[in-house]
Amino acid sequence: LQVSGAAAGLTVIVLQGVQTFGLQQMGVAILLAGLLQVIGGFAKVGRWFQAASPTVILGMLSGIGVLIMVGQFHVMLDIAAKGNGILNIKAIPESLALAFSPERHQSLSAMALGILTIALMVTWPIFGRRWTAFLPAPLVAIGVSVLAAAIFRIDVKYVVIPSDLFASWQAFDFDFRSAILNPGILGLAIQLALIASAESLLCAAATDQMHNGPRANFDKELISQGVGNLVCGALGALPMTGVIVRSSANVQAGAVSRWSAMLHGVWLLLFVAVLPGVLGSIPTAALAGLLVFTGIKLLNVKAVTQLFYRSKSELAIFLVTATAVVTVDLLSGVILGLALAGIKLLHALSHLQVNLEHSPDGDHLVVDLRGAATFVKLPHLTEALESLPKGVNVTLRSEGLHLVDHACVDHIKAWRKRHEQHGGTISEEGNAIFI
């Protein structure tokens, strides 16, 4: 159910590419990036992104939700958003002060439309439940805001649509040979392919967590993204990726099949090309209110609360990922989150607890093993077992182990034989791994 669109996260890279190589050569770079994505899809590279940690995905979604909320909050006041998440957060008091100043009545009107939109998004699914299948909440919210703005002639900003959609488009005369032989363009194409693929497939993984419908095929998704970028490069458009805001809106609108994503593009083209006046009647504050609501929905408070009670280490990974997404950028946040998840996994695979306890009746010792019994922890395990008195009765408790390798199994079996030769007995509670 993922919906794709212009890759806002690649804007800076594309701008640098255009400034360095020119617009036409940039088109070739996007074409090559699309080709690399197609090759990656056929090589089954996409499926590796299914291994992304759910906690990292949750942090990514929450970070994006915060970015949407703090950015669109300003737009909801008819004030331009700032350059990044930190600046948008810092500017909130300033924007509020400006909105309530006597000379900015326009901002209060815009805020009223934004709040009206959010209120309808919350209440329509409750009070208009019988009609939601035909009149989804976003359509009702925007429709009512448009009517309110028209009836009361509210002085706010409206969506601006170009009068001639194709006025600035021109066919490219690509020089493929010189572009392919240029190491700079090849490097740019690889960079675009890697970042666009990562953003799209992480978005697909995040979208899958939002619904119970058809799952994404990551290899097919990568091929599709590549084909799309081949077309984008040929037309001189921005490269495309999966867009979590559109995908989230798609899921929240009740999408159940891939047709919704395709019709998304059809409706966009139809309205922009044939009915631009309809889009031009929509207050930008109403759209901003819709996006603020979407951002709030992306902040899964219930899941975060469960993390708090389930695992403090997972909560830390979530917080670091979300914070990095807000303060740095999406890809950096995800990479940092995945790195922390990898460190946590390595710790779990190398952590072994050996607890020595006396049985309640006092006639034998209990060796309680917890964690991962691997060759890395053999010295620790050996020290604990060799410290047991010779000839004592021992119970090995192994139900706390989540990983055991052959090195540890062989080592404990060898120790067991030596211990029994000295008159001791060994029994096992749990998985019967060593007996």
Of the candidates 421, 324, 359, 427, which has an alpha carbon nearest to the alpha carbon of residue 84? Answer: 324
pLDDT band at 168 (very low <50, low <70, confident <90, very high): low
The dihedral sign for the CA sequence 328, 332, 337, 343: negative
CA distance 263 to 256: 13
- In three-state form (DSSP H/G/I as H, E/B as E, the rest C), the secondary structure along 309-343 is HHCHHHHHHHHHHHHHHHHCCHHHHHHHHHHHHHH
Residues 7-47 have pLDDT tens digits of 777 877 888 888 888 888 888 999 999 999 999 999 999 88
Residues 402-417 have pLDDT tens digits of 888 888 888 888 988 9
CA distance 251 to 242: 14
Q: Which two tokens stand for residue 410?
A: 């062989």
Instruction: Give the C-alpha distances (Å, rounded to integers) separating 415 from 388, 424, 427.
Output: 11, 11, 13
pLDDT band at 129 (very low <50, low <70, confident <90, very high): confident
One DSSP character per residue, 240-279 reads EEE-HHHHHHHHHTT--STHHHHHHHHHHHHHHHT-HHHH
Question: 203 near 4, Cβ under 8 Å?
Answer: no
Of the candidates 330, 332, 281, which has an alpha carbon nearest to the alpha carbon of residue 156? Answer: 281
Q: For position 145, what pLDDT does the model report? A: 95
Residues 270-286 have pLDDT tens digits of 888 888 888 899 999 99
Q: Is the pLDDT of residue 375 over 90?
A: no
- Look at 55-59, 101-105, 169-173, 232-236 and tell me which has the smallest mean pLDDT: 169-173
Q: For position 432, what pLDDT does the model report? A: 61
Task: Sheet with 394-404: list strands edge to edge.
Answer: 352-358, 365-373, 394-404, 426-429
Q: The tokens 């693929």 sit on which residue?
A: 197
Which tops the pLDDT comparison, 197 or 164?
Answer: 197
Residues 270-326 have pLDDT tens digits of 888 888 888 899 999 999 999 999 999 888 888 889 988 888 899 999 999 999 999
Residue-wise over 399-409: b if at least 16 C-beta within 10 A, else e? eebeebbeebe
- The amino acid present at 378, given as its one-letter code, is L
Residues 224-269 have pLDDT tens digits of 999 999 999 888 888 999 988 888 888 887 888 888 888 888 988 8
Of the candidates 23, 61, 43, which has an alpha carbon nearest to the alpha carbon of residue 247? Answer: 61
CA distance 25 to 233: 9
212: Cα within 13 Å, side-chain hemisphere:
0
Torsion, Cα of 248, 254, 260, 264 (10° steps)? -60
Q: Is the pLDDT of residue 170 over 70?
A: no
Which tops the pLDDT comparison, 194 or 83?
Answer: 194
Q: Phi/psi of residue 371, each to 5°?
A: 110, -135
Paired with 352 in beta bridges are 371
Q: What is the residue-averaged pLDDT of the chain? A: 87
Percent of the chain with pLDDT over 90: 35
Q: Is the pLDDT of residue 222 over 90?
A: yes
For the chain, which residues make up each domain, given as ranges?
4-344, 351-429
How is domain 351-429 classified at the architecture level of CATH? 2-Layer Sandwich (3.30)
Q: Is the pLDDT of residue 115 over 80?
A: yes
Q: For position 388, what pLDDT does the model report? A: 87
Residues 53-84 have pLDDT tens digits of 889 989 998 999 999 999 999 999 999 998 78
